[in-house]
Structure 1
Amino acid sequence: MRSATYRPWASFSLLVLSGNLLAASPSIEERLARLEARTAAAEARASAAEAEATQLRKEVERLNQNQQFALGNPLVAPETQMSLLARVAQIEARQQSLERDTSSLVSSVGSIRNITKGFTFSGYARSGTMSNSGAAGRASPYITPAGSVGGAVGRLGNESDTYVEMQFAKEDQSENGTHWKYTVMLADGVETPNDWTSSSSSLNVRKAYSELSHLASFQNSAVFKNATLWAGKRFDRDNFDIHWLDTDVVFLAGTGAGIYDVQLTDQWRINASVMSRSYGDFSEDANDKDIRSYIATLNQFFDNGRWQLMLNGIASRQNDAKVQANSEDTKKTERLNQAGYSPAERGVHSMLAYHRPDFFGQEGFFKAALLYGKGLGAEVKGIGSDGELLDEASALRLAMYGQTRLNDTWRIAPVLLTEHSKDRYVPGDNYRWLTLNVRLANELSSNFEMVYETSWQTMDLDPKGYKGRQAADGAFWKLTIAPTFKAESGNFFKRPELRVFASYMDWSKELDGFSDSDNFGQKYFKSGGLWQFGTQMEAWF
């Protein structure tokens, strides 16, 4: 279940072509069912032919034994016997042909079963549209000034994009008992509501990796018996998010290798990995083209996973090439460096998390996480993803959220998310924000719910002119009402859902003019309150 912050790359035309091919061709399950039906029919025809041939053989034998069939007997013509024998030969030939067809069909069914064995397909998608008094609505869970540093405000009635993930996986077991698995994910995201979006899409392979588990070589080791080895491009398996706020609590992703589920003791399990990410091309010098970051991770779990301690070290050699590439001249570069404006080349990140499988004894769940980062680790949500952070940058974030039932027909999902960071991009800058969010659902039938979401966010931001942004000190709030149809109500995470919604939002006048290139600063997007209306579907499986 992913969020609007992810924006893959490439062209959407391949996705459209794939969709057309899948729509035009029967599914694997349908092909398999058809082949099995044909096989059963062929087997039935072969059995009928065999029964008919047997009956005719008995008739020939009876005639041979009948005295009336003696040579020269005028009552029985020799042609009769020859005709019966010829018919038997024809039926036997037909039977052999049917048996060959049946064998071929059985082989085809077996081939498809072999292909589909261990094959899984999963996905996530959302698509919606929004209007503000007849004009295109402005929407994003990160719509506020605090959103520029990760301050999400809630996604219900606040999204108008189309985002798709399709994940394919194939797994099997070797003769020695070792399990293997291959996974690939395609994703795309667009803002336009048009049906043809190849010129603006961003089709991307977000995952491509393989795993080995239950390794035969590890079965005599209590520590590594249940370990999983992996390599490739992927999201870390133990990322977790606040879905209805559309923000990850922690998101580790990249290309690398690692090992999961090393069981040091009964109550102490660890994962370890090394991943690489790119900060892009920041210099005309070919030697400085691709600035990489490398993230070494040790993820520890205690008390059957209830407690989690995650430690990350981040290094990015020559990351200060960004200053040289982004500066207009050498003197400006020198001034920036003297002022301490030099992107960090290293960083640390840590997270202490608490996971409850219930909501303090009630149905549902509860999670809390405290995150801290320094240098390149000061982007505490997307680990190692921000190459603009300074050496002195620091950030502290707290997340607490969960969901439970209030009674037989009402569910509630509350969130508290807050962060304080400083010296992020310019020496002396300061960012403080706090979001409170609550989503409520009232189950009115087995297929219909009334869903409500309210958000309030307060912020005190001083970007020191970074990217032309001005200081912002104030509050934002949003209320959404969304009549929702779904396949089955009664569960917070059951999808698909089809919604219509109305959202009302307002904010402090002091937030207007935050940035000429951001929502808060646009000529027709000012404080004073506004309504936005729209529709959306959301699905995953």
Structure 2
Amino acid sequence: MVPKFTCKPLAMAVALALGTATPVMAFAADSALEQRLADLEARIAASEQRARNAEATAERLQAQLSNTRAQQQNNAPVLEPDARTARAPAPSTTSAPDMEQRVASIESRLDSELGLSLNGYARAGLLFNDDFTGTEGGPYVTPAGSVGGPVGRLGNEDDNYVEVVLEHRAKYDNGATSLYKVMLADGVENSNDWTGGDNSLNVRQVFAEFGNLPDFGGPFENASIWAGKRFDRDNFDIHWLDSDVIFLAGTGAGIYDVQFTDDWKSNFSLYGRDYGYFGNSNNGLNDSEVESYILTANNYFGNWQWMVNGLTAKDNAERDVGELPPDPRSDLAEHGEHTMVAYHGDSFFGLGEGSFKAAVLYGHGLGAQVKSLGSDGNLTEDAESIRLAVYGTTYIAPTWRFAPMLMAESSKDRYVSGDSYKWLTLSARLANELSENFEMQYEASWQTMDLDPRGYNNFNPVDGDYMKFTVAPTFKPQVGGFFVRPEIRLFATYTDWDSELNRYAADSEYGSSSLGRRGYDGNEWSFGTQMEMWF
């Protein structure tokens, strides 16, 4: 999954301005101005909710905070703290006219958020080996990738992928707000200028969201409601692995930010997904459709997050799955449970400035696809999975950035009774900012796996390791953080793996089966170039 960076620096500016304005209110005698400030606070609350629309944006702001020292050393503008960590200054005796100007400035910035906006993400590049022939790549290139085990993506991608997001925001006379969003996406591995026969253009999101509704009060005062097809607002990922920690998506409805107490906030949603058909035909024309439903309660207690999900898909056990899997097999699951406990840290594991996130996920039945909730209808009723994900970002020196990460999963009875999938990935990205427009990036990944599919999809059991190391000279309009884009990279990547991994399924596609599809017996050099951007 890719990050969504639609937030603007407004949230930070508003938080700092409020920190100054709030004490001033105590000294202002103008009741009309006081009412304007009260109204403004409500608008700011709504704006801050929009600012949290993408968890990755918060990560970027935290990374920018940790970058303050480096910015100062390079005489670059100092980035202000995230709104959540900004400290209010001491009470001020600013005059009412000065406060009027501040209020007008903030109101103007809030109004600039309204209307139509365009956001997007894209990557495109070339990847070839030392024989100048095309080679396979991607974060899920290893056999463990068939069950969601990623490796580092730097110097390892050969696809062209683009997202275009259109948003329209409006504010009504009663203070209510609305958001309409549509997201188009396409991805191909064809390097030609015209790929009409290969593209997979898709509307990935189309939904409406209402906030700051005057009819809402009590715990729902600052809540927003939505309906349509969307990615859940609070999904979060490890960008360097191109893997979500949790990805909830589909078509449905929900409510965000129900505030039960000062320290307890919850989101509730119902998402639907489709698994296919069951019946007597193979084309689905006369069959019944199997639909999956996910009921979610996502709770926040300070930095802690506790997510609980229930899944159901009536008649999934009757669905036609073709040749998958062979006997003996368990019945396909029709129900499932899933939970995640996560911590969103505002330091680098308590050791210094930066950020970190850690999560433990468990699922049973349909919930055993613990990352992409409800996306896999081939899980058995006895399937169980547990996954751990940890990563952090920091500056280890004024011009050196460091981002280590760990992801591991163990599952059993996943697709066939008695099967077992175990894998662990360790990866780290290091960057050295050498000038305002140039940095050197390095990435190392190691993955170990023990996979016993019991014949599922004609896969064979394998046990072995994979490693990758990439060096990438990188150009930017301005350096200054892990989440600063755009970038243009050149790269050289060395990979090595145990030859046993070539046995996994040499007759299947590389990305979900075997490193040895082309007959490689171990190590390989690959080279390429890539651009990546978001805005």
Query: TM-score, normalised to structure 1's length?
Result: 0.75
| Corresponding residue for residue 251 of structure 2 | 255
The corresponding residue for 2:242 is 246
* Matching residue of 2:337: 348
Counterpart AA for 2:399: T
C-alpha separation between the residues in 1 aligned to 2:532 and 2:112? 30
**Residue 408, structure 1, aligned to residue 407, structure 2:** no
Q: CA deviation at 1:290?
A: 2.3
Aligned counterpart, 1:448: 438
Question: Is it true that 1:290 corresponds to 2:289 in the alignment?
Answer: yes
Q: Which runs of 5+ in 1 are unaligned?
A: 4-113
CA contact (8 A) 2:127 2:528 kept: yes
- Please tell me the residue identity of whatever aligns with 1:540: W
Please state if 1:301 is matched with 2:291: no
The answer for the alignment partner of 2:311 in structure 1 is 314
Q: Work out whether residues 282 and 326 of structure 1, in 8 Å CA contact, stay in contact via their aligned partners in 2.
A: no
Match in the other structure for 2:263: 267
**Cα displacement (A) at 1:490:** 1.8
- Summarize deviations over 1:250-274 as a string: whole Å, max 9, x none: 0000000000000000000000000
Conservation of the 8 A alpha-carbon contact between 1:165 and 1:187: yes
Query: Which residue is equivalent to 1:492?
Result: 482
1:175-190 matched pairs, under 5 angstroms: 175-190=173-188
- The equivalent of 2:72 in structure 1 is none
- CA, structure 1 residues 399+358, in 2 after alignment: closer, same or farther (shift >3 Å)? same
Task: Judge conservation of contact 2:501–2:516 (CA < 8 Å) in 1.
Answer: no
Give the aligned partner of residue 534 of structure 2: 540
Q: Which residue of 1 aligns with 2:448?
A: 458
Q: Counterparts of 1:357 and 1:527 in 2: how far apart (Å)?
A: 44
CA-CA distance at 1:523 after TM superposition: 4.8
Structure 2: which amino acid aligns with 1:126? R
Q: Find the aligned partners of 1:513 and 1:296 in 2 and give their Cα distance.
A: 40
How many Å separate the matches in 2 of 1:116 and 1:529?
A: 51
Query: Which amino acid is 1:187 matched to?
Result: A
How far the C-alpha of 1:280 sits from its partner, in A, is 2.6
Q: Which moved more, 1:357-366 or 1:429-438?
A: 357-366
Take 1:538 and 1:325, find their aligned partners in 2: how far apart are those partners? 38
Q: Deviations over 1:357-395 (max 9, x none)?
A: 221252321000000000000000000000000000000
Give the residue type in structure 2 aligned to 1:533. Answer: F
Return the letter of the residue paired with 2:382.
E
Decide which moves more: 166-175 or 427-436: 166-175
User: CA-to-partner distance for each residue in 1:452-499, whole Å, 9 max, x for gaps?
Assistant: 000000010000111110011010000000000011112110000000
Answer whether contact 2:338 2:370 (CA < 8 A) is retained: yes
* Structure 2 counterpart of 1:2: 2
What SS class does the counterpart of residue 216 from structure 1 fall into?
coil
Match in the other structure for 2:346: 357
| Cα shift at 1:281 | 3.8
Question: What are the within-5 Å matches in structure 2 for residues 116-195 of structure 1?
Answer: 117-132=114-129, 133-195=131-193
Kept in 2, the 8 Å contact 1:460–1:473? The answer is yes
Query: 2:219 aligns to what SS in structure 1?
Result: coil
Structure 1 residue runs of 4+, over 4 Å off? 114-117
Specify the alignment match of 1:38 in structure 2.
none
- CA distance in 1: counterparts of 2:253 and 2:278, whole angstroms: 26
Contact 1:430/1:462 (8 A) holds in 2: yes
Q: Is the 8 A contact 1:437 1:454 kept in 2?
A: yes
The structure 2 residue matched to 1:530, chosen from 511, 524, 527, is 524
Task: Specify which of 197, 200, 210 is matched with residue 199 of structure 1.
Answer: 197
Q: Which amino acid aligns with 1:349?
A: H
Deviation at 1:500, TM superposition (A): 0.6
Q: Which amino acid aligns with 1:294?
A: Y
AA aligned to 2:265 is R
- Stretch deviating more after TM superposition (276-285 or 155-164): 276-285
Deviation, 1:120, is 1.5
1:426-437 to structure 2, matched below 5 A, reads 426-437=416-427
Q: How far is the alpha carbon of 1:223 from its aligned partner? A: 0.6
CA drift of 1:282 comes to 5.1
- Letter in structure 1 aligned against 2:152: G
Among candidates 481, 493, 502, match of residue 471 of structure 2? 481
Q: What amino acid sits opposite 1:200 in the alignment?
A: D
- Tell me, in whole angstroms, the C-alpha distance in 2 between the residues paired with 1:344 and 1:495: 42
- 1:501 and 1:356 map into 2 onto residues whose CA distance is 32
Change (3 A) 1:461 1:174: same
What is the CA-CA distance between 1:248 and the residue it aligns to?
Answer: 0.3
**Aligned partner letter, 2:311:** I
Residues 142, 515 of structure 2: 8 Å contact kept:
no
Asked if structure 2 preserves the Cα contact closer than 8 Å seen for 1:282 and 1:321, the reply is yes
Q: Max radius of gyration: which structure? A: 1
* Contact residue 288 and residue 321 of structure 1 kept, 8 A: no
Report how far residue 525 of structure 1 moved. 4.0
3-state SS of paired residue (2:145): helix
**Which stretch shifts more, 506-515 or 244-253?**
506-515
Alignment partner, residue 50 of structure 1 = none
Counterpart CA distance in 1 for 2:375 and 2:249 is: 9
Identical residues among aligned pairs (%): 54
Q: Quick one: distance in 1 between partners of 2:323 and 2:141?
A: 29
Match of 2:376 in 1: 386
- d(CA) in 2 for partners of 1:363 and 1:118? 36
- Normalised to the residue count of structure 2, the TM-score between the two structures is 0.76
What is the DSSP-based 3-state SS (H/G/I as helix, E as strand, rest coil) of the residue aligned with 2:204?
A: strand
What is the deviation of 1:521? Answer: 5.9
Count of residue correspondences: 419
Q: Which amino acid aligns with 1:299?
A: N
SS in 1 for 2:422: strand
Q: Which has the higher helix share?
A: 1
Shift of 1:135: 0.8
Identify the residue that residue 517 of structure 1 maps to in structure 2.
Answer: 508
Q: What CA distance in whole angstroms lies between the structure 1 residues aligned with 2:168 and 2:259?
A: 26
* Native 8 Å contact 1:166 1:185 kept in 2: yes
Q: Distance in 1 between matches of 2:288 and 2:137?
A: 35
Which 5+ residue runs of structure 2 have no aligned equivalent? Answer: 4-110
Distance 1:180 1:270 in 2: 20
Provide the secondary structure at the position in 2 that maps to 1:406: strand
Q: Are residues 501 and 321 of structure 1, via their aligned partners in 2, closer, same or farther at CA, if it must alter by over 3 Å?
A: same
Contact map agreement 2:419 2:452 (CA 8 A) in 1: yes
CA contact (8 A) 2:114 2:171 kept: no
Q: Deviations over 1:193-241 (max 9, x none)?
A: 01101110000111100011000101xx231110000000000000000
1:37-56 alignment runs, 5 A limit: none
Go from structure 1 to structure 2 and tell me whether the alpha carbon gap of 1:451 and 1:325 turns closer, same or farther (over 3 Å shift). closer
